[in-house]
Amino acid sequence: MSEVSVQQANDRETMLIHTPFHSRSSALNKLNSWENWKGFMVAHEYDDYELEYFAIRSQTGVMDLTPMTKYRITGPDAEAYLNRLVTRDVTKIKVGRVGYTVWCNSDGQVMDDGTIFHLAEDEYRLCSYTHCIDWLMWSAEGFDVEIVDETKQVAALAVQGPTSCSCLMAMGLEGIENLKPFGLTTFPFEGGELMVSRTGFTGDLGYELWVEPALAEALWDQLFAAGKQYLIRPFGLYALDMARKEAGFIQAAVDFVPAEDQVRVGRTRSPFEIGLGWLVDFNKPFFNGRKALLKEKENGSRYRFVMLDIEGNKPANNSFILNKKGKVIGTVTSAGWCPSAKANVAFGQVDAKYGEIGEELITEIYYERELHWTKVLAKSVVVKGPMYDPPRRRATPPAPF
């Protein structure tokens, strides 16, 4: 059977698709603990989520990123099209650079957040959480672009942590140390091409590696062989979730409802309402949602995103947020203990009247110990965040560890 038909057979017969790294990741998954990420099978935890998390902060952690939804956008109008689609100014994302962005519907409500990779002249990759080709196609009316879902055609690894640059250097990726944050570059690899971007979802020094599926196993093997002396280890989605909260990154479908999924009125949010107003560039004459966003800017938003530094160590999952008088003003969307920052963080949505940096609010936390429930009204200060932001994240060239 050819490579492609093996994959097709796999697709038809199994509930969850194996990624091209499966032979490697499954050999290391001692707990046999998997998650369903958009229909792909990806490790939840390999052997110890805590040590996996700490690999990201102290060594190098590797995560299978393949299920990330990826679209290739090409054609003479690619830049103009993207500029119309998303809120930020795409002309500022030069070839060889990556940009984080959001895109909105015409009501100015966020459809998704994601990254735009400017691969070459008239050639982009858009990574998203949602499957959004339907929306991409609607928005493409009148533009000379081609949009292809290449999720399965690109295997990807996140390589994150203070020794990640050392690992890649040891792998022979010459000059990788000069790659700046949000830069991307390519290397010849096993007769094909390896793309490396200095990006990630952990808030630490880190890179993402992209290859065709046929080279995936070779990539994994070479990376782990080179990284051994830098204490490389794989990590699962559990550890990633810990890292991203500490790094202050929101997640679609967790911290906001992608606008297309909304059923009940008023459940979606604008970029301003999820703390991503800085991604909206009104200098652009047209983009989806511009009119509505401009109006919101003038009239004010309904909600405000807050990052809370909460006293104590009980995670504020699913908590109500109260003002100092005890009135409910919002809810927590993500929460957790930050093991490196030693802080108890929560992301929340509050009534826009509240949530200035420095304001003291209250979260209503329930926790259970041996079937006994306790309620705490925890002092919660609105902070700018992120909780953990090590300087090595931005250093170029990075230190060896």
CB neighbour burial string for 154-192, b if at least 16 within 10 angstroms, e if fewer:
bbbbbbbbbbbbbbbbbbebeebbebebbbbbebebeee
Nearer to another protein, 4 or 225 (CB): 225
Strands of 213-302 (E only): list them.
232-234
CB neighbours of residue 356 within 10 Å: 9
Find out whether 290 and 85 touch, Cβ atoms under 8 Å. no
Least CB distance to another protein at residue 378 (A)? 10
Least CB distance to another protein at residue 67 (A)? 27
208 annotated ligand-binding residue: yes
Nearer to another protein, 48 or 149 (CB): 48
Nearer to another protein, 243 or 343 (CB): 343
Least CB distance to another protein at residue 48 (A)? 6
Instruction: Compute the distance between CA of residue 8 and CA of residue 148 in angstroms, rounded to an integer.
Output: 18
Nearer to another protein, 183 or 234 (CB): 234
DSSP symbols for 154-223: -EEEEEESTTHHHHHHHTT-TTGGGPPTTBEEEEEETTEEEEEES--SSSSSEEEEEE-GGGHHHHHHHH
Question: Exposed/middle/buried for 14, CB within 10 Å: 0-12, 13-18, 19+?
Answer: exposed
Least CB distance to another protein at residue 159 (A)? 14
Nearer to another protein, 13 or 368 (CB): 368
CB neighbours of residue 338 within 10 Å: 19
Nearer to another protein, 16 or 376 (CB): 376
Least CB distance to another protein at residue 43 (A)? 16
Least CB distance to another protein at residue 395 (A)? 14
- Here the tokens at position 355 are 């949530």
Binding residues for another protein, per CB under 8 A?
31, 47-48, 50-51, 54, 57-59, 162-163, 166, 170, 229-231, 312-314, 337, 339-343, 367, 369, 374, 388, 400-401
Find out whether 311 and 376 touch, Cβ atoms under 8 Å. no
Find out whether 38 and 233 touch, Cβ atoms under 8 Å. no
- Residues making up the binding site: 208
- Residues making up the binding site for substrate: 208
